[in-house]
């Protein structure tokens, strides 16, 4: 499981106590990123986080300004469900001057938005339309196309704070059709939902909002 920390919502002075909670639930990764993170903050945030935990820190950036060498790896996202060139290739090009001198592990990731029932930040910022929860055929085809394009991961995203998490049948159909790891996130609010996502084929499940609201959510 990965815990997502959004530097816009979590203050740096809380990272010491939050890291202890994340260590205690034995998260495999900490994702760091958000849609509205101020310039320069990610660098300070990850630097501080590194003082308190040894869990690998993976950047999950809303835009290229959120990349810092202090992390361990970067999800190099392409928003494959959308048709906005800014998030298919422009942001990626803008990140190159930084990345070519960095030691970050860069992981090509096909990012696929599924309708989570809310107008999430990622939809507002990317100005794209998500794939309907019942359009399994399109979600599967998009994931396979991502794999053929050479992505090393597929990320099914219902959007942070989604009312409806990615449905289990969709997770399972996508998983059956790809042979690269599958990440699922958005709207997962309980241990039960977390386990169901794993049982249906997710290799990694990301939890942000539910952990932010209650650091003990996964202890029950
Ligand atoms: C969002 O998938 C992540 O990018 C996590 O979503 O905040 O709803 O857990 P939540």
pLDDT tens profile 15-47: 999 999 999 999 999 999 999 999 999 999 999
What b/e readout covers 97-130, taking b as 16+ CB neighbours within 10 angstroms?
A: eebeeeebeebbbbbbbbbbebebbbbeebebeb
Whether the per-residue pLDDT at 180 is higher than 80: the answer is: yes
Whether the per-residue pLDDT at 111 is higher than 70: the answer is: yes
CA atoms within 13 A on the CB side of 10: 29
Rounded CA gap, 113 and 157, in Å?
5
**Whether the CB of 209 sits within 6 Å of ligand 1:** yes
Q: Which of 119, 195, 11, 26 is nearest to 3 (CA)?
A: 26
**pTM of the full structure:** 0.98
Whether the per-residue pLDDT at 182 is higher than 80: the answer is: yes
Please count the residues of the chain.
220
Helix boundaries (H) for the chain: 15-24, 41-52, 85, 91-99, 121-126, 136-148, 168-177, 191-199, 209-213
CATH number for the domain spanning 74: value is 3.20.20.390
What pLDDT, on the 0 to 100 scale, is given for residue 189?
Answer: 97
Average pLDDT over residues 149-162: 98
Mean pLDDT of all residues belonging to the chain: 97
Residues 6+ away with beta carbon under 8 Å from 81 = 111, 112, 113, 114, 128, 129, 130, 131, 139, 142
Number of independent structural domains in the chain: 1
Give the residue whose CA is nearest to atom 4 of ligand 1: 160
pLDDT band at residue 219 under the 50/70/90 scheme: confident
Q: Indicate the top mutation candidate among 81, 184, 188 to test ligand 1's pocket, ranked by most ligand atoms within 8 A of CB.
A: 188
- Residue ranges making up the domain that contains 129: 2-219
Rounded CA gap, 212 and 177, in Å?
33
Which tokens hold the place of 170? 């969709």
DSSP state letters, 130-174? PBPTT-HHHHHHHHHHHHHTT-SEEEEE--TT-SSPPPHHHHHHH
pLDDT band at residue 217 under the 50/70/90 scheme: confident
**Whether the CB of 140 sits within 6 Å of ligand 1:** no
User: Percentage of the chain with pLDDT > 70?
Assistant: 100
Which tokens hold the place of 177? 């059709």
Average pLDDT over residues 111-137: 97
Q: Which of 217, 194, 214, 213 is nearest to 204 (CA)?
A: 194
pLDDT band at residue 220 under the 50/70/90 scheme: low
Q: Indicate the top mutation candidate among 60, 81, 157 to test ligand 1's pocket, ranked by most ligand atoms within 8 A of CB.
A: 157
Whether the per-residue pLDDT at 134 is higher than 90: the answer is: yes
């Amino acid at each position: 499981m990965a815990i997502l920390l959004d530097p816009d919502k979590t203050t740096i002075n809380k990272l010491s106590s939050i890291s202890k909670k994340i260590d205690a639930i034995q998260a495999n990764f900490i994702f760091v990123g958000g849609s509205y993170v101020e310039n320069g903050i990610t660098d300070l945030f990850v630097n501080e986080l590194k003082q308190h935990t040894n869990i690998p820190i993976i950047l999950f950036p809303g835009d290229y300004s959120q990349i810092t060498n202090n992390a361990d790896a970067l999800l190099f996202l392409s928003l494959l469900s959308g048709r906005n060139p800014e998030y298919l290739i422009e942001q990626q090009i803008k990140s190159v001057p930084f990345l070519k001198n960095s030691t970050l592990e860069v992981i090509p990731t096909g990012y696929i938005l599924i309708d989570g029932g809310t107008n999430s930040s990622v939809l507002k910022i990317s100005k794209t339309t998500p794939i309907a929860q019942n359009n399994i055929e399109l979600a599967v085809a998009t994931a396979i196309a991502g794999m053929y394009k050479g992505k090393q991961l597929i990320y099914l995203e219902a959007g942070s704070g989604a009312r409806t998490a990615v449905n289990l049948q969709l997770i399972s159909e996508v998983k059956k059709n790809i042979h690269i790891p599958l990440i699922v996130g958005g709207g997962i609010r309980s241990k039960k939902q977390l386990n169901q996502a794993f049982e249906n084929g997710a290799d990694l499940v990301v939890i942000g909002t539910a952990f932010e609201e209650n650091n003990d959510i996964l202890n029950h």
